[in-house]
Amino acid sequence: MAEMKTMKPKKRFSVGYALLQKKQRSFIQCSLLNSAKARGIDLVRIDTDTPLVNQGPFDCVIHKLTSEDWKQQLTDYLVRNPSSVVIDSPDAITRLHNRISMLEVVSQIEDFICGDSETEAASVGIPKQIVIHQQDNLKEDLTCWTGGLKYPVIAKPLVADGSVKSHKMLLIFSKEGLEKLKPPTVLQEFVNHGGVIFKVYVVGEYVKCVRRKSLADISEERLRLGSLQGSVSFCQVSNMKSSVKNCDSYYKSLEDAEMPPMGLIRNVACGLRKAMKLHLFNFDVIRDTRVGNRYLVVDINYFPGYAKMPGYESVLTDFLWDVLTNEEARSFSNQKDKKEAAKVVDSVGGLVDEKGALPVLAVGMEEQDLLRV
């Protein structure tokens, strides 16, 4: 009687996640856990009160932490587990905590933005902005500062660390409105954009662009008549009450908004991903109504609220699967000694190819949703 061949058990992967409680509640949904589990991926919570080297081992670590202690923990962990992948570098993430350095990267990606027939007529930039570091500077009017700003302007805290304070913003119409500000503050020109903002989610090579309501346009007549004075505070429009979002008019105005050229969005996403060396982020884009084919990047966030993105479970699962099963990436790590492995996380946040980006391949996605970058 022939011996029955023993089936080799299918390898399961362990992905550790280190996230603050609020992010855990929104991101780690049962639907995501089940989607990953079905592909042989177990998502495991990392206890941030216990040294990382005493946990796992994990095939991959995803996180949204940037403290010096956490950086050292990642470095120590990679020395002991050189084949593990870390997404992404704390230093690369920290760049997005400053609203000036956050947008400076846009000027570095011009070579990625144009080059095909779909994008040659369009351009991408950032709004004019300046930083106010001292309270005394607020006693002067905009006309006294460099940068070419004029009212209205949006006042944002310089620090963008995801805290409640970092989301407190004001729309300033006159000099009187500057009195409420507490430096360091970024003053950014307000650009009429049809009341619609385009949120672009990036997960490795996957890109999804969606429409969201934004601040309404301000007419030149109202500004000229001086009927708008002082300042008005506003919350993130994306967090407006659900009752407002359920109105038919809300969705009708969004549906009427023309989407940006997908080629342009693809190129910007590709440029940002390579320049920032990040794989999980989103960026906000508006269309300058003064110049119809001019687009402005106004914000970039690391590890955004993916749960708001339709089908995020399959997108994140596919991304993790590609990272975990990419033999080229994993063999790269095995060839490095412990000293070199310790440097990886501090410089680019995981395993990198010669172009400075984690080699991942997007698979199993609908063509209309997948924009290869």
User: Bigger pLDDT: 338 or 303?
Assistant: 303
**Mean pLDDT, residues 32-45:** 97
Tell me the torsion sign for CA atoms 139, 143, 145, 149: positive
Nearest in space to 212 (alpha carbons), one of 106, 308, 97: 308
Taking each helix axis as running N to C, give the angle between helix 68-80 and helix 338-347, from 0 to 180 degrees, rounded to the nearest 10: 150
Cα distance between residue 113 and residue 122, in whole Å: 9
Confidence bin at 217 (pLDDT 50/70/90): confident
**Mean pLDDT, residues 307-314:** 93
Nearest in space to 364 (alpha carbons), one of 314, 329, 324, 327: 314
- Please report the pLDDT score of residue 49 as a whole number: 95
Nearest in space to 332 (alpha carbons), one of 355, 364, 303, 302: 355
Whole-structure pTM over 0.85, yes or no? no
| Per-residue model confidence as pLDDT tens digits over 354-370 | 333 333 322 222 322 32
Comparing 48-57, 130-139, 191-200, the range with the smallest average pLDDT is: 130-139
Burial of 67 (0-12, 13-18, 19+ CB in 10 A): exposed
- Please report the pLDDT score of residue 340 as a whole number: 36
Contacts of residue 232, Cβ cutoff 8 Å, sequence gap at least 6: 170, 171, 173
Confidence bin at 180 (pLDDT 50/70/90): confident
| Per-residue model confidence as pLDDT tens digits over 247-299 | 544 445 667 788 999 999 999 999 999 999 999 999 999 999 888 789 999 99
Where do runs of H (alpha helix) occur along the chain? 21-27, 30-38, 68-80, 90-94, 99-104, 110-113, 220-225, 242-245, 248-256, 262-276, 312-325, 327-334, 338-347
Cα distance between residue 183 and residue 179, in whole Å: 11
Burial of 15 (0-12, 13-18, 19+ CB in 10 A): buried
User: What does the DSSP assignment read for 112-135?
Assistant: HH--STTTTT-EEE---EEEE--G
Cα distance between residue 315 and residue 309, in whole Å: 9
| Per-residue model confidence as pLDDT tens digits over 222-257 | 665 555 676 777 654 344 444 444 454 444 566 778
Whether pLDDT at 167 is above 90: no
Cα distance between residue 69 and residue 82, in whole Å: 19
Strands 294-302 and 123-125: parallel
User: Bigger pLDDT: 7 or 139?
Assistant: 139
- Please report the pLDDT score of residue 264 as a whole number: 92
User: Bigger pLDDT: 75 or 334?
Assistant: 75
